[in-house]
Chains A and B, each alone.
Chain A
Amino acid sequence: MRVSLAGLLPFAGLMALPGVLPAQMGNLDATPAKPRAYVTYAAEPQSVTVGRRSVLELNFRVVDGFHVNSHTPKSELLIPTQIKLQPSAGVKAEAVVYPAGTAYSFSFDPKEKLDVYTGSFTVKLPVVAEAGAHTVEGTLHYQACDHAACYPPKNLPVQVTFTAK
């Protein structure tokens, strides 16, 4: 059988297509409108054992140069970082466990000690789940400041996706 190279070219083009298209789509999809926020949430699919108490991790990151109050700030005037989660069918969720904050003081007011989250912080969510894929929706309420200004409280949508096997 004689198959010319020229005859194969259209096929070669088609074979290359699946590799090229996803990359192009990724670029197109990577430019969504970006509203302002000072904390980001990294949604990572997790898996747990069916019917057994397991701890899910919710990973957040405070944008560099900013801090948010911890869940237990040192003044009642300060707004604590707090997660509110919606009930989800087949998932029994316990109270979330917040990490300890770190000490922080504004340079202009070194006497006032604050308790804040900076960089990455992880909130733990203990659950007991039925078999299958689950999504727990919620919101992270926080209030951020930088070294010289503060920003009104914000709500960050949170979606915890996990599979119980």
Chain B
Amino acid sequence: MIAGRMSKVKRSALVFGVMVVGIALLLWAGWHNLRERRLAMQKAQASHVVLMPEKSGQADGEGELPKLRGKAAPGFALTSLEGKKVSLSDYKGRPVLVNFWATWCGPCKVEMPWFEELRKQYAGQGFEILGLADDVDAGKDVIAKTAQKTGVTYPILLTDGKVQTAYGGLDVLPMSFYVDKNGVVVEVTAGLGSKDEIEANIKKTIASGSTAVAAGGQ
């Protein structure tokens, strides 16, 4: 009787032991799996860069655009292709289009001939355009040759890195800042617009600043 009970106890202990070992194995397997997945994820994250830009057609800088609209245009003094020092303040009292472009930017080169045409059309109202080349590393000669190819005769200035920062970092090209005669940014556009849109912005810039407002960076 006692021997039978002892045997039953032994069997129960054995079953319990097997269960404990089984559970321990399951826990170890789970922990091991967790560790492996964690390592794999760390490795994948280190080498797999999944980065999403803004939605297509929407300029990166558009979020920044309202920041300068209605504010004083940041002043600058840059060197032209002819080696002349040109400041935004030189154009105080005149409506100015500050256009950032680059030799590698196709859309920029499409609108440059339009700018030239509209500049002539609105010259009587004192309108001027300053083309700021964003890619000075391309070299002065390449910039000059590219500008010449587009037929523009307005001043082309070589950027210094600081002016890009002052105008919001320029994550997209072309980028245009329409500055009225008081030095206030009336409109900001990123990416290529239509010729009609550009002309409408020029008209708006010329019309703006008739009443005295605080002078900007010009």
Contact = CB atoms under 8 A, between A and B. Distances in A.
Contacts of B38: 22, 25
Given A14-B27, A151-B173, A40 B51 contact: yes
A112 B172 CA distance: 21
A25 B108 contact: no
B56 A152 contact: no
Interface stretch (B40-48, B118-126, B205-213): B40-48
Interface string A137-165: 00000010111111111001111010000
B164 to A, nearest CB: 9
A121 interface: no
B57 A147 contact: yes
Interface in A31-67: 32, 34-38, 40-43, 63-66
Contacts, number: 139
Counting contact residues on chain B (CB < 8 A from A), the size range is 35 or more
Interface string B115-149: 00000000000000000001000100010001000
Contacts of A42: 48
Chain B interface mostly:
helix
Contact of A14 (B23, B33, B108): B23
Interface in B31-84: 31, 33-34, 37-38, 41, 43-57, 59-60
A47 to B, nearest CB: 16
A106 B50 contact: no
B12 A150 contact: no
Most A CB within 10 A of own CB, among B47, B57, B60, B170: B47
Interface string A90-121: 00000000000000001011001010000000
Given A37-B53, A41-B49, A114-B106, A152 B37 contact: no
Interface string A68-102: 00000000011100000000000000000000000
Contacts of B45: 29, 32
B107 A149 contact: yes
B170 A149 contact: no
A43 B23 contact: no
Contacts of A65: 55-57
Contacts of B54: 36
B151 interface: no
A147 B55 CA distance: 12
10 contacts: A19-B30, A21-B30, A26-B37, A36-B52, A43-B48, A65-B56, A106-B107, A149-B172, A151-B60, A157-B49
Given A36-B53, A108-B192, 8 more contacts: A11-B23, A14-B23, A15-B23, A37-B53, A40-B51, A65-B57, A106-B110, A151-B171
A-B pairs, 7 with minimum CB distance? A18-B30, A65-B56, A149-B191, A1-B12, A37-B51, A43-B47, A159-B47
